[in-house]
Chains A and B, each alone.
Chain A
Amino acid sequence: MADDALLARRTDADVQAVFLSLSATLTGYSRFRLLGTGQVEPYLVTTRSAVGDDVFGELLSAFAAVERESADDPAACDRALRALVLSDEKLGPIARNLIKMWFVGTWYELPQEWRDRFAAGEQLATHVVSPASYTEGLLWPTIGANPPGAKGQGFGSWVGPPNIETS
């Protein structure tokens, strides 16, 4: 099997590198930015435990295939990601969950349809991965704001237009 034993063959560092690359593509934030949140490891662990080693390996292998096929061509990458991951009945919901987790720190329970067809063990319920995951959500910097209840921007910061990063 081509997808196979990616987890078995590769080192933890390899796995983390592919996971990080997938996360960067899905969120639109750079790998450095994602590493800076301190959430790569907790999100990797959460995803892996939610879907099991086999499916997690399939996800990373599929993304590795996307990267191989598209060879740095953004349009090709987009097409391949949609074809191999986002529209895949097994992998798509996990990828979408990853985006949500990066943006607001919450792991959402996978859809019922997914659970019926693909779940191996007990399902992870909707939960905030950790208090820090909440405060590190990417949604807030995306809109030039702070997570409610944390990282206040300072007295009077709300007077001017928001500082929205574009890259």
Chain B
Amino acid sequence: MSVEIDHATAVSTLYDVLVVGSGVSGAIVARSLAERGLHVLVVEAGPGEELSLADYDTYLTRFYGAVAKDNNSAYEVNPNAPMPRSPDVRRLQAGHPDSTGYLIQNGPYEMDSTYTRVLGGTTMHWEGKAMRMLPEDFEMRSRFGQGRDWPIGYDDLEPHYRQAERELGVSADVADQTFYGITFPPGYEFPMHGLPPSYLDTIIARDLDGTVIQLEDTACTVSVRPTAQARNGMPNPAYDGGKGYVPVGAVSTHQVDQGDRCQGNINCVPLCPVQAKYNARKTLSIGLRTGRIDILTQTIASRVHVGEDGQISHIDYQAYGSTSSPDHVTGSLRATKYVLAANPVENARLLLASGLPGSSGLVGRNLMDHAYLLTWATLPEIAGTMRGSQCTSGIEDFRSGGFRSRHAAMRVSIHNDGWSWPTGSPYTDLLELVDDGNVYGETLRRRVVDRISRQLMLSFMIELTPEPSNRITVDGRYTDALGNLRPVLSYSLPEYTMDAVSASRRVSRRLFQRLGAEDQTKYDPLDPGFVAHQGEGYVIRGGNHWSGTHIMGSSSRDSVVDDHQRSWDHENLYLVGSGSMPSIGTSNTTLTLAALSFRTADHIASELTTRPSLTVGA
């Protein structure tokens, strides 16, 4: 499988499409267009020498050896194309931006969200939840008087959701996923059967199912449901009208015994050790079979140039040979259409660094992410915590209803990995037992079980609406090793979201009461993300669901892209990914941005293949 070409060849080629970024959206656009006969160049700022198992295993070994096993710990520190890392986030002092990490935190709130700059992008570290948005999420303004409406609706996106579920290899059962307006065509099946819920899920469901919780005027009846996941499970023979589904295995030039079903490594983030979890390299490696995709890694798109006709004329790049040296060469790449798929922060950063804030001035603005409130407790019985994939079930019942005109919606995940996110368990538990508990030997073993195997952690993923003041900017004072402007983040949470944070804490107390679980939740005022609201303090964590920075709309006056993710200002430029989303509801963003990528690929293909000079088809 030939992957790399040299820069000289790329520079002298006029591609049909240049895609910046090799994550899920870029990979889908590239594969989709290449399979329709178009010649595509993908540039990736980060490393990823080859699409091989050896390259992948390097990440795994680095993760094993890392003291801090944060969600980017599998990926090397690379000053040439840096990435945000959550351990870099500090408590801010008012008026003092923090430039410790790659992302400049301008406040007032700290945000510990990250993304990954390697071949395959953030799907290398994503957890793999693959959920559709609710139909009502597309109509936030007209139904709830909050946020924005999309120019398209659930029904427009539904066929593309199905494409995305095939591409990502989603394991789920239709009966479990049909709720709050989500519909599927008659007879639809997911590619693979749903992954089995964990023992922990079963204990929670036994005691919580049927609990009624009132949110404003909405009575929510709790039902623990299995979560749709882009992770290999048991193929469903009824998929695709009885054609079935062949799971996509590990990315490798040789046949390897990996990429089969999820083994329960409890390590979806930062890296699935066996490639049961989807990552964008799977899409790229299949796309490469067309022979029409070229990939340049360690190649940073550094500036977008606009010609006199308002079209993008070329994109400058910097190519570096080693992550340990800033030495690099530069050049320019040309294509008929340009697709920025570098993620919402990097897309906005590149445009702003190129002096292209958009005629609406909205590039970089309306930044959204999910606000996460973590609550944790000790169950009265051994629940076998720390086994399975990171989450196998959740509670969908606080996502929908009239209460959304008053406060944001919430979705709850039951975490098989216990308190690891909020407290650093099980390491912190071990240290406390040994250093303060003064236990050793068999007593220590019993206490470890008692302390860890009964852990329950519920994460509340809370909606954030687009606020123009939440934004990415650039500032000449802050540059990276190659002189590129670093992203500066300004971030705060509106009342609409904070009221849902308070509601989430109330809900978690009710749920713990119902479970007889000892509430262990504590929020340290010295932690990044600490926010007081209505007399109570919370620590809000980032969800890594960056979005909104090139927001989609129906007019060039109040949006950056149209419903095909095409720039209003530059006809041959597409900004793809969750940056286009006008709302994020309470779904992890990947499945929706993947669906949007398919829709955009269709549009680009229709634009290009109507050109008489082009040869279409393999």
From B56-64, B278-286, B456-464, B530-538, the one touching the partner chain is B56-64
Query: Which of A140, A153, A161, A167 sits near B199, CB closer than 8 Å?
Result: A161
A135 to B265, CA, bound (A): 12
Task: Assess whether A130 is in contact with B65, with CB atoms less than 8 Å apart.
Answer: yes
Contacts of A156 in B (CB 8 A): 196, 264
Which residues of A are found within 8 Å of B261, using beta-carbon distances? 155
Question: Is A11 close to B, CB under 8 A?
Answer: no
Q: Is the CB of A86 within 8 A of B263?
A: no
B interface residues (Cβ-Cβ under 8 A, vs A)? 60-61, 63-67, 69, 196-199, 202, 233, 261-267, 271, 273-274, 382, 384-389, 392, 416-417, 426-427, 430-431, 434-435, 438, 440-445, 448-449, 452-453
Of chain A, the residue at the smallest CB distance from B384 is A162
How far does the Cβ of A109 sit from chain B's closest Cβ, in whole Å? 10
Q: B interface, by DSSP: helix, strand, loop or mixed?
A: loop
B-facing residues in A113-146 (Cβ within 8 Å): 126-128, 130-132, 134-135, 139-140, 142-146
Q: Is A18 an interface residue (CB 8 A)?
A: no
CB distance from A66 to the nearest CB of B (A): 12
Bound complex: CA A140 to CA B452 (Å):
10
Q: Are B387 and A28 touching (Cβ within 8 A)?
A: no
Asked if A158 and B65 sit within 8 Å, CB to CB, the answer is no
Q: Please tell me if the beta carbons of A148 and B265 are within 8 angstroms of each other in the complex.
A: yes
Closest chain A residue to B448 by CB distance?
A142
Q: How many Å lie between the Cα of A17 and that of B60 in the bound state?
A: 33
Please give me the residue from chain A that is nearest to B232 by CB atom. Answer: A155
Report the separation of the CA atoms of residues A156 and B444 in the bound assembly, to the nearest whole angstrom. 29
> If the complex has contacts A130-B65, A159-B197, A164-B382, are A145 and B266 also in contact, measured as CB distance less than 8 A?
yes
If A28-B441, A99-B440, A143-B453 are given as contacts, then 14 extra A-B residue pairs at C-beta distance below 8 Å, sorted by A number, are: A108-B431, A127-B67, A128-B64, A128-B67, A134-B64, A142-B449, A146-B387, A150-B64, A152-B262, A154-B263, A155-B262, A157-B263, A158-B264, A159-B202
Q: Are A162 and B440 in contact (CB-based, < 8 A)?
A: no
What would 20 A/B residue contacts be, using CB atoms closer than 8 Å? A28-B444, A95-B440, A96-B434, A99-B434, A106-B427, A139-B426, A139-B448, A144-B453, A145-B385, A146-B264, A149-B267, A152-B274, A153-B387, A157-B263, A157-B264, A158-B199, A158-B387, A158-B389, A161-B382, A164-B453
How far apart are the CA atoms of A86 and B444 in the complex, in Å? 14
- Which B-chain residue is minimally distant from A24 (CB atoms)? B441
Q: How far is the CB of A12 from chain B (nearest CB, A)?
A: 26
Interface centre among B233, B262, B417 (most CB of A within 10 A): B262
- Does A100 reach chain B (CB closer than 8 Å)? yes
With A134-B64, A162-B382 given, is the CB distance from A150 to B453 under 8 Å?
A: no
Q: Which of B199, B263, B449, B453 contacts A152 (CB 8 A)?
A: B263
For A25, list chain B residues within 8 Å (CB).
440-441
Closest residue of chain B to A82 (Cβ to Cβ) is B438
A164 closest partner in B (C-beta)? B449
Contact A148 B417 (CB under 8 A): yes
B441 A158 Cβ-Cβ under 8 A: no
Q: CB-CB < 8 A to B438: which residues of A?
A: 86
Q: Is the CB of B384 within 8 A of A161?
A: yes
Q: Which A residue sits closest to B202, measured CB to CB?
A: A159
Q: Cβ of A153 and Cβ of B271 under 8 Å apart?
A: no
Give the shortest distance, in Å, between B354 (CB) and chain A (any CB): 39
CB pair B199 A103 closer than 8 Å: no
CA A103 to CA B435, docked complex, whole Å: 13
1/0 per residue, CB under 8 A from B, across A96-114: the answer is 1001100110101000000
Q: A139 — which chain B residues lie within 8 A by C-beta?
A: 426, 430, 448
Chain A residues in contact with chain B, CB under 8 A? 25-29, 81, 86, 95-96, 99-100, 103-104, 106, 108, 126-128, 130-132, 134-135, 139-140, 142-146, 148-162, 164, 167
Residues of B within 8 A of A142 (CB): 445, 448-449
Nearest-CB distance from B279 to chain A (Å)? 15
Q: Which residues of A sit under 8 angstroms from B388, Cβ to Cβ?
A: 157-158
Whether A158 contacts B431 in the complex (CB less than 8 A), given A86-B440, A99-B444, A149-B267, comes out as no
Could you tell me if B263 and A155 are in contact, using CB atoms closer than 8 angstroms? yes
Which listed residue, A108, A143, A148, A167, touches B267 by the CB 8 Å rule? A148
Per the bound structure, the CA–CA distance linking A135 and B521 in Å amounts to 30
Are B386 and A143 touching (Cβ within 8 A)?
Answer: yes
Closest 5 A/B residue pairs (Cβ): A152-B263, A158-B388, A131-B64, A162-B384, A149-B267
**A126 lies within 8 A of B67 (CB):** yes
Task: Chain B residues near A150: list those with CB within 8 A.
Answer: 64, 265, 267, 273
Query: What residues on A are CB-neighbors of B434 within 8 Å?
Result: 96, 99-100
Instruction: With both chains docked as a complex, state the minimum distance between the C-beta of A132 and any C-beta of chain B, in angstroms.
Output: 8
Determine how close the nearest CB of chain A comes to the CB of B540; give it in whole angstroms.
Answer: 25
Indicate if the CB atoms of B69 and A148 lie closer than 8 Å.
yes
Chain B neighbourhood of A155, CB < 8 A: 233, 261-264
Closest CB in chain A relative to B609 CB, distance in Å: 42
Q: Which chain A positions have C-beta within 8 A of B382?
A: 161-162, 164
Query: What is the minimal beta-carbon distance from A49 to any residue of chain B, in angstroms?
Result: 18
Distance between B204 CB and nearest chain A CB, rounded to angstroms: 14
Chain B residues in 8 Å Cβ range of A152: 262-265, 273-274
* Contact present for A148 and B444 (CB under 8 Å): no
Chain B neighbourhood of A134, CB < 8 A: 64-65
B274 x A158 contact (CB < 8 A): no
Q: Is the CB of B430 within 8 A of A162?
A: no
Which residues of A lie under 8 Å from residue B66 when comparing CB positions? 128
Whole-angstrom distance between the alpha carbons of A100 and B432 in the complex? 11
With both beta carbons as reference points, the residue of chain B lying nearest to A149 in the complex is identified as: B267
The residues of A that contact B61 with a CB separation of less than 8 Å are 131
CA–CA, A152 and B273, complex, Å: 9
Name the distance in Å between B86's Cβ and chain A's nearest Cβ. Answer: 16
Closest to A29 in B: B445
Bound complex: CA of A95 vs CA of B386, how far in Å?
Answer: 27
Q: How far is the CA of A139 from the CA of B263 in the complex (A)?
A: 19
A contact residues around B435 at 8 Å (CB)? 96
